[in-house]
Structure 1
């Protein structure tokens, strides 16, 4: 089950966190991984880890906010069976204290970046008559999170784009779903806490962990396994869906 032999999978944000976990897992299942990230050093590390384990990977240094860069990279790949849109950034702030520059930055990465990759990948998938797309949404597109105005806006857009692509290309053999994780313990989260809560890192880590009814943050590998299922042939009847993976946050946090 969940065999990806012969598949070409493009994974954005694959230099670290969820994207890296997805790339490593997909490679173990036999896929050739197109590693897409802006951080070349991080890409090198992911590529080395995959190749040392006997997998196949090709690094693609790319800024997903730049449409022409994205088109050039995807055209150079030539064929894509699976796209995982994992690249993303976050922000703390409500509507009043979110600066325009931060709003634009989140929009450019989390919304326009996903749009750029969707547009480039769908064109290639149509030529194959099949394809699978998995977008990273968030619990923020299901519930109101305090001080996450811009971030929630972007993830709501990701959810809407997922439904739109699923509807528009169902007859082209393309499936499109998204998942909505709660907090996942990644280097991104550690850096986020350090930047926004200096001197209170341990306290905030425990507080954020406890906000999930299950009592902890998710591991990137746990998220990757759900993504593997949704991108596999075993999930061939699933499209246009959002799957929470949240330790009970949405339904039990009342």
Structure 2
């Protein structure tokens, strides 16, 4: 594997967005409804205690818990584009959860998740799920994540994802970041989460997304690192590459921030890597 973009064509924004595309984005945002997540006590206390968290820094690598997602950034991404990735993926999660049960109607949930991203300016390449074939009698989800992402991510992106997983695993079960992710990524024996890796080239921001859901007879804690029995668990994976059309997104950026409001502080927090 090398550090070249896995599919360079996804980074090309060569066609200006027509006015109707921008108007459609406005109309979509005006009518969009979001799920109101229940914030666990540990997370509520954590948000209160870190209300003055440091600003997102440009050009430096980073990682964030984002509701039921992990979002990572390699070096060289502007602070604004980091916020755009975090806000748009949070919006897509909350919009999809408002429409569909995250754990019981998962593929419909993902369809609306991707539709939301496309409506606000993300240009996607295509998305479908297949069952991940586990080798061995047990497995941990973090190993599945790394195996799936290595097919679409560069070495730099994989290095940041690995750092992120290592940092998350080291947290205590009651750490606010871990509780935030766990409480929004799985419920009882069902899970639904995303791992996104973002990069920037020639001013365009692009994301490689690994999407996962599973069904298990086992109840897990620290879901990414729990040892599941292969005989009791089915896990499905999908990948997506997308580039942000700045011409569309810039027109609804403020509406997205306004629509999310306080949900950003409640659902997004940095992981130290």
TM range (shorter): under 0.3
Higher helix share: 1
Higher strand share: 2
* TM-score, normalisation: structure 2: 0.25
Choose between structure 1 and 2 for higher RCO, CA contacts under 8 A separated by at least 6 residues: 2
* TM-score, normalisation: structure 1: 0.26
